[in-house]
């Protein structure tokens, strides 16, 4: 009897197989909805306690009456897919502790959805705290336990806008303090950031006054007093009191970036919130007329930034220059989030589409806060800036948002607005669009919410970086963007089930592509002219058709040869599409050459001249008023992740992932990139032309296609130690895999 009981207990035990619980629960893309901040500092306060606080606190408030819920599926088994879920959402934690829900019990839902599950319960009320948890089932016949409980609070007004975190303040200390002379010290924080200064100083007299100098640039071992361009320098005087006291240095506002008088696009600058106060970008500090010894703990830089996880992404390779370029771009994302929205930098503090088109994919490569970008894009709908191409970029960016999040909220809410941003109303009888043929009327500008007076084509900025581009009525760069916007608008219509509009937009895109190749491609040279009416071929007129897959197959090599011949003839902004074009043409050698270049026009040059944040231009000589803090200078970060290491979403929300490394002669590299479904890891060992070893880790509830270099026509391939052939695609061999860890070896 005893043995039969033990045997029964054994079978009962092995019959209960539990999957790992879901983690990283998100509500409208926000993971840390339960976090309370006190004047920018994360605090040990829970949402139910906020009614007892006397301090000034900040919260992430959900503004959507029907929020989207998401989670990460976890598994230590390969090829794991979620097959079902159950969500419980309640008005109290106590109910959830009993597995009860008064707001929504979804029941077991047979679905693989884990990134954008629409709330389907009772109506949520404003200014109310809710609690939820989720459990899942998978294709291994496993049921998980419920996740830990996550709470969120709704906003006073449920207007459907994208929610954000408040800005965060981090205390940072110097990495070096160097005496210059008696009573004069030079202080280095290691990197520049946007912040304030807090000092703990001692004085025997009430008459002492300390001179404080702050700056982004150093010269001759001290803060550069005349750095030029728009590189920041400021000087302050601080009167001391007798005794030891902690002082806060109030940063003076700069009229250029805080004056609410709008710029030429009639777009106002973004202002710092009251709880952080004004900030200044600086790395270096000098204290003059203070004779006592200084310790790092006495000097605190209160850096302001959007919440950022330094551990979310990593990259390391056998190329030391490439490693430094990655760190420059990664840190730039954090440093330039100081307003909680993408802006140009410090000079104007205005959201510009041209900055976001580069900043968006670089932010995706290094952190998991997708709401930061979405909020910025929705802001631009009603505050577009003056360049023609930049309005068109809004459609490209919102499609990229959907690919990375799988969340359709913004597509649905603003569908008609995004469609207007294709600028199809500017189409002429030849099928191309133009801003110079009379259709740019006040009525048209009002439809796209442009409030300025000088809407025009830009091509590149500054204008000295356009490679001699000749502006005509029909601009090749503008029409390439027009084609791409129609193409992705068709995809957006398809994602929303608008099949008729999807078909029409696809047809419109195809017609524009045909006309570009008919009217702007020179049949004699095989290159693209800058526009109708000129024979000039610029770098810009050719990289955009190549980047957007407009170039006919027979012309691709000629266009790529021309692109190589021009070098880095565009600005840091244009470098995004230049490198996209290069890698899309599978010219990995030239791509690596540009990324790891140490020439004057390179990312390494930004580091060499002393900046720790990406610049607005390659060097001060190319833009006399340039910022030393501009997110559009950080294109290399996303190119390393997306093209060199080859990680890109194929299906929305990273449901399917492409891993297509293009290493050229880079010997070794590894990267971790966050995704909405979990971390993606890729590492390779490259014995050039002989053997290529690739390790990948794909998050659960995702699949992937892996592209390996075809080393010869008689290549040998093993996947997880099993021989395979794969599918040949040009110079690559493609293999389909499921989630988990996988090991690929391809040999000549």
Dump pLDDT digits (tens) for 547-558: 999 999 999 999
Average of pLDDT values for 266-291? 96
**Quick one: pLDDT at residue 8?**
40
Q: Please, how many CA atoms are within 13 Å of residue 344, restricted to the half-sphere of its CB? A: 20
- Going by pLDDT thresholds of 50, 70 and 90, the confidence category of residue 148 is very high
Distance CA 394, CA 59 (A): 28
Report the Cα–Cα distance between both ends of the chain, in Å, rounded.
64
The pLDDT tens digits for 113-137 are 999 999 999 999 999 999 999 999 9
Could you tell me the two tokens for 142? 């496993």
* CA-based nearest residue to 194, from 387, 338, 379: 338
Residues 6+ apart with CB under 8 A from 164: 30, 60, 306, 340, 371, 372, 375
Q: What number is the average pLDDT over the span 56-60? A: 96
User: What's the pLDDT at 205?
Assistant: 82
Report whether pLDDT(653) > 80. Answer: yes
Residues 640 and 612: their CA atoms lie apart, in Å, by 18
Give the phi and the psi of residue 468 in degrees, each rounded to 5. Answer: 70, 20
Rounded to whole angstroms, the Cα distance separating 368 from 405 reads 10
Percent of the chain with pLDDT over 90: 95
The whole-angstrom separation of Cα 42 and Cα 305 is 12
CB of 111 within 8 A of CB of 85? yes
CA distance 581 to 563: 9
Query: What does the pLDDT average to over 463-472?
Result: 97
Contact (Cβ atoms closer than 8 angstroms) between residue 26 and residue 70: yes
Contact between residue 744 and residue 706 where contact means Cβ atoms under 8 Å apart: yes
Per DSSP, the three-state class of 402 is: helix
Return the number of other C-beta atoms located less than 10 Å from residue 143's C-beta: 15
Q: Cα 318 to the chain's mean position, in Å?
A: 25
Q: What was the pLDDT predicted at 453?
A: 87
Q: How far apart are CA 231 and CA 83, in angstroms?
A: 54
SS3 for 152?
A: strand
Q: Region 228-247: what's the mean pLDDT?
A: 96
Computed over its alpha carbons, how large is the radius of gyration of the chain? 28
Q: List the one residue out of 127, 155, 113, 134 whose CA is nearest residue 25.
A: 134
pLDDT tens-digit readout, 179-223: 999 999 999 999 999 999 999 999 988 778 999 999 999 999 999
In this prediction, residues 564-575 reach a mean pLDDT of 98
Q: Is the backbone peptide bond immediately before 59 cis, with ω within 30 degrees of 0? A: no
Q: Do residues 85 and 375 lie in contact, with contact meaning Cβ atoms separated by under 8 Å?
A: no
| Whole-number pLDDT of residue 704 | 98
pLDDT band for position 17 (50/70/90)?
low
Burial of residue 453, with CB atoms counted within 10 A of its CB: 0-12 exposed, 13-18 middle, 19 or more buried? exposed
Distance CA 311, CA 321 (A): 21
196 phi, psi to nearest 5 deg: -120, 180
Quick check: 34 pLDDT over 60? yes
How many other β-carbons are positioned within 10 Å of the β-carbon of residue 454? 8
In angstroms, rounded to a whole number, what is the distance separating the alpha carbons of residues 534 and 348?
35
Band of pLDDT at residue 6, cut at 50, 70 and 90: very low
Instruction: State how far the Cα of 314 lies from the Cα of 672, in Å rounded to an integer.
Output: 5
Tens of pLDDT, residues 296-314: 999 999 999 999 999 999 9
Mean pLDDT of all residues belonging to the chain:
96
Task: Look at residues 109, 99, 179 and name the one whose alpha carbon lies nearest to residue 131.
Answer: 99
Q: In this predicted model, what pLDDT tens digit does every residue of 487-546 receive, in sequence order?
A: 999 999 999 999 999 999 999 999 999 999 999 999 999 999 999 999 999 999 999 999
Q: Are 240 and 212 in contact (CB under 8 A)?
A: no
* Domains of the chain as residue ranges with CATH: 17-154 (2.60.40.10), 168-305 (2.60.120.260), 314-644 (1.50.10.10), 657-747 (2.60.420.10)
What pLDDT shows up at residue 15? Answer: 45
Q: Give the CB-side neighbour count of residue 80, counting CA atoms within 13 A.
A: 27
- What is the SS3 assignment for 735? strand
CA atoms within 13 A on the CB side of 527: 20
Q: What integer pLDDT is reported at residue 260 of this predicted model?
A: 85
């Amino acid at each position: 009897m005893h043995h039969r009981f033990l045997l029964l207990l054994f079978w009962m035990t092995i019959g209960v197989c539990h999957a790992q619980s879901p983690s990283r629960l998100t509500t409208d893309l926000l993971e840390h909805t339960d976090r309370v901040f006190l004047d920018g500092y994360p605090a040990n306060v829970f949402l139910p306690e906020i009614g007892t606080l006397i301090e000034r606190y900040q919260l992430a408030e959900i503004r959507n009456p029907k929020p989207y819920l998401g989670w990460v599926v976890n598994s230590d088994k390969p090829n794991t897919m979620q097959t079902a879920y159950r969500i419980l959402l309640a008005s109290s934690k106590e109910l959830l502790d009993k597995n009860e829900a008064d707001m929504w019990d979804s029941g077991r839902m047979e679905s693989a959805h884990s990134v954008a599950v629409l709330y389907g319960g009772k109506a949520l009320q404003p200014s109310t705290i809710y609690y939820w948890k989720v459990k899942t089932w998978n294709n291994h016949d496993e049921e998980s336990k419920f996740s830990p409980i996550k709470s969120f609070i709704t906003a006073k007004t449920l207007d459907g806008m994208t929610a954000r975190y408040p800005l965060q303040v981090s205390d940072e200390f110097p990495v070096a303090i160097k005496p210059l002379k008696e009573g004069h010290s030079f202080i280095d924080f290691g990197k520049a950031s946007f912040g304030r200064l807090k000092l703990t100083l001692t004085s025997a007299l009430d008459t002492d006054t300390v001179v404080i100098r702050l700056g982004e640039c150093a010269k001759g071992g001290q803060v550069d007093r005349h750095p030029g361009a728009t590189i920041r320098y400021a000087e302050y005087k601080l009167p001391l009191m007798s005794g030891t006291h902690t002082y806060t240095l109030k940063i003076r506002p700069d009229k250029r970036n805080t004056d609410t008088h709008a710029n030429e696009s009639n777009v106002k600058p973004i202002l710092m919130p009251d709880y952080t106060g004004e900030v200044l970008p600086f790395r270096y500090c000098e204290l003059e007329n203070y004779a006592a010894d200084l310790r790092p703990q006495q000097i605190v830089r209160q850096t302001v930034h959007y919440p950022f996880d330094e551990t979310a992404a990593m990259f390391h390779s056998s190329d030391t220059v490439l490693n430094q370029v990655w760190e420059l771009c990664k840190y730039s994302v954090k440093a330039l989030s100081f307003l909680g929205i993408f802006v140009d930098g410090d000079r104007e503090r205005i959201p510009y589409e041209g900055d976001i088109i580069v900043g968006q994919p670089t932010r995706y490569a290094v952190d998991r806060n997708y709401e930061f970008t979405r909020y910025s894009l929705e802001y631009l709908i009603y505050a577009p800036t003056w360049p023609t191409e930049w309005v068109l970029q809004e459609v490209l960016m919102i499609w990229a948002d959907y690919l990375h999040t799988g969340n359709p909220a913004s597509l649905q809410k603003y569908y008609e607005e995004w469609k207007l941003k294709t600028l199809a109303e500017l189409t002429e009888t030849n099928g191309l669009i133009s801003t110079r043929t009379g259709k740019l009327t006040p009525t048209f500008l009002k439809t796209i919410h442009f409030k300025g007076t000088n809407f025009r084509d830009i091509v590149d900025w500054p204008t000295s970086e356009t490679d001699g581009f000749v502006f005509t009525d029909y601009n090749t760069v503008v029409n390439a963007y027009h084609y791409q916007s129609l193409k992705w608008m068709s995809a957006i219509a398809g994602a929303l089930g608008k099949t008729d509009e999807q078909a029409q937009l696809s047809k419109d895109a195809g017609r524009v592509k045909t006309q570009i190749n008919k009217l702007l491609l020179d049949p004699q040279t095989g290159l693209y002219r800058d526009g109708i009416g000129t024979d000039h071929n610029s770098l810009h007129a050719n990289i955009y058709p190549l980047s957007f897959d407009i170039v006919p197959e027979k012309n691709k090599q000629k266009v790529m040869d021309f692109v190589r011949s021009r070098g880095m003839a565009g600005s840091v902004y244009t470098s995004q599409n230049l490198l996209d074009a290069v890698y899309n043409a599978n010219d990995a050698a030239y791509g690596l050459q540009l990324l790891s270049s140490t020439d004057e026009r390179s990312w390494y040059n930004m580091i060499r001249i002393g900046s720790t944040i990406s610049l607005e231009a390659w060097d001060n000589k190319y833009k006399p008023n340039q910022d030393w803090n501009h997110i559009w200078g950080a294109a290399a970060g996303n190119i390393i992740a997306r093209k060199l290491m080859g990680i890109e979403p194929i299906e929305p929300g990273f449901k399917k992932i492409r891993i297509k490394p293009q290493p050229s002669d880079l010997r070794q590299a590894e990267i971790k990139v966050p995704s909405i479904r979990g971390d993606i890891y890729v590492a390779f060992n490259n014995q050039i032309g002989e053997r290529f070893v690739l390790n990948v880790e794909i998050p659960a509830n995702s699949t992937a296609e892996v592209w390996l270099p075809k080393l010869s026509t008689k290549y040998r391939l093993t996947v997880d130690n099993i021989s395979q052939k794969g599918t040949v695609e040009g110079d690559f061999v493609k293999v389909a895999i499921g989630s988990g860890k996988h090991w690929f070896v391809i040999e000549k």
